[in-house]
Amino acid sequence: MDLPLALRIAPFSDAAGKRRAVTAIIEDYARNHQAADVGITLATSWLPAGGLIATAGTLAIQAPLVYQPMVREIGRTYLAGAPDDEVRALVHDTAIEGAKWDLGVLFGVEFFEEILTELLREMGAGALLGIIPFIGSIAAAVLDAKVAATLTWRVGLMAAIYYENGCAWLVDRKTTYERAHLLIHGLSAKTEGRFDMSGVADTVDGVREQQRTLLRRYVETIKDAVGYDHLREVLDMQYQIEPALIDAVLGEIRRRRIGDVRPSAAAHENGAANGEAMPVLSDEAYERFRIVLRVYRNLHLDDAAIVERCIADLDISREAALEALRRERSRTLPGG
């Protein structure tokens, strides 16, 4: 799936807060799912094989009622705070559902049909007890409590891995489920604290490396506009990226900066003073200015400070910086 880079790194912003929120979402859905499944099973206790019927039925009906809305809520949590105004507005306006990054659609009935054989093997003899009227339903209710809590956690962890991995599966959906299965091992009725989400990026192989790769690609797109010396400030204060991830990415970029020397702002000023023709502000330079302007506005800099930063960071003259600022103001004026 071809997604904007700014969207793919959105989960890295305020990662600690998002992981706490996602944990609470999964726990809440696990409790509700468990209560609903047990209620359905007990309601069919008078039927022959009622427990088995209820167990099979709840797997089918809970996809749109539990798993899909949970996954979408996890998606809204992870994608909040994308480091781009247009992408952030796009995510908010589409509300995830129906968008091309709507992960919930991948957790329909067909997904549970894929894992049913494995799930029945985990349930073992307990599934067969559901054939016995009444007593079987009681046994099935106990089993359903375990299945509901465990499967909710596995699906929730799958979604978390997907977003932590930069909106991408670990190879594919099946591989990601298998990894979640290993981390949420064994059936248990426990609905809270089944996995420490704070360590998901370091626990799951390949996720931290993928985060570094994607963030480095994003930094490469903004470093000229922002200025290398201000990258840490922007990534930390504005985007709230984890310090360890910032250190890894900037360290790698620093090692690659060989011979990356640009003309200084003083050279521009000297050229202008000597009467040399300075290049007119190009459309490309203006677009770079627009990107960095949003960053500086978020840092609450005034126009004078923005001009000085643009001279140093964008390698343009004072006249070009002032012209870019005037052009931007004209765009925002009514009828501009």
Asked whether residue 75 carries a pLDDT value surpassing 80, the answer given is: yes
> 147-186 burial, b for 16+ CB within 10 Å, e for fewer?
bbbbbbbbbbbbbbbbbbbbbbbbeebeebbebbbebbee
Sign of CA dihedral 86, 3, 93, 15: negative
Reported as a pLDDT band with limits 50, 70 and 90, residue 124 is low
User: Residue 262: which residues within 8 A CB-CB, separation 6 or more?
Assistant: 315
Token pair listed for 123: 């349930």
Residue type, 224: D
Asked whether residue 58 carries a pLDDT value surpassing 50, the answer given is: yes
Asked whether residue 160 carries a pLDDT value surpassing 70, the answer given is: yes
- Between 19-33, 51-65, 113-127, 321-335, the lowest mean confidence (pLDDT) is in 51-65
Q: For residues 31 and 191, give the distance between their C-alpha atoms in angstroms, rounded to a whole number.
A: 6
Q: Stretch 71-98: mean pLDDT, rounded?
A: 75
Q: For residues 67 and 157, give the distance between their C-alpha atoms in angstroms, rounded to a whole number.
A: 11
Instruction: Please give the pLDDT value at position 31.
Output: 95
CA-CA distances (angstroms) from residue 184 to 30, 115, 133, 169, 266?
Answer: 13, 15, 31, 17, 59
Q: For residues 206 and 247, give the distance between their C-alpha atoms in angstroms, rounded to a whole number.
A: 18
- φ and ψ at residue 241, rounded to 5 degrees: -80, 150
By CB neighbour count within 10 A (0-12 exposed, 13-18 middle, 19+ buried), where does 300 fall?
exposed
Taking only Cα atoms into account, the Rg of the chain, rounded to an integer number of angstroms, comes to 27
Q: Stretch 123-140: mean pLDDT, rounded?
A: 50
Instruction: Please give the pLDDT value at position 55.
Output: 53
- Taking the CB of residue 26, how many other CB atoms lie within 10 A of it? 27
Q: For residues 228 and 222, give the distance between their C-alpha atoms in angstroms, rounded to a whole number.
A: 9
| Helix locations, the chain, DSSP H | 5-8, 15-43, 50-62, 68-79, 85-94, 109-123, 125-129, 135-164, 173-183, 200-203, 207-226, 231-233, 243-256, 265-273, 283-298, 303-313, 318-332
Question: Among 294, 331, 284, which residue's Cα sits nearest to residue 316?
Answer: 284
Q: What is the chain's mean pLDDT, rounded?
A: 78
The residue that leads in pLDDT, 240 or 273, is: 240
Reported as a pLDDT band with limits 50, 70 and 90, residue 253 is confident
Taking a C-beta distance cutoff of 8 angstroms, is the pair 170, 179 a contact?
A: yes
Percentage above 70 pLDDT, the chain: 71
pLDDT tens-place string over residues 287-300: 777 777 877 877 88
- Between 159-168, 186-195, 264-273, the lowest mean confidence (pLDDT) is in 264-273
- Between 83-97, 105-119, 161-175, 226-240, the lowest mean confidence (pLDDT) is in 83-97
Asked whether residue 285 carries a pLDDT value surpassing 60, the answer given is: yes
Asked whether residue 66 carries a pLDDT value surpassing 70, the answer given is: yes
**Residue 111 CA to chain centroid, in angstroms?**
22
Question: Among 186, 193, 208, which residue's Cα sits nearest to residue 12?
Answer: 208
Token pair listed for 160: 């978390």
Instruction: Please give the pLDDT value at position 209.
Output: 94
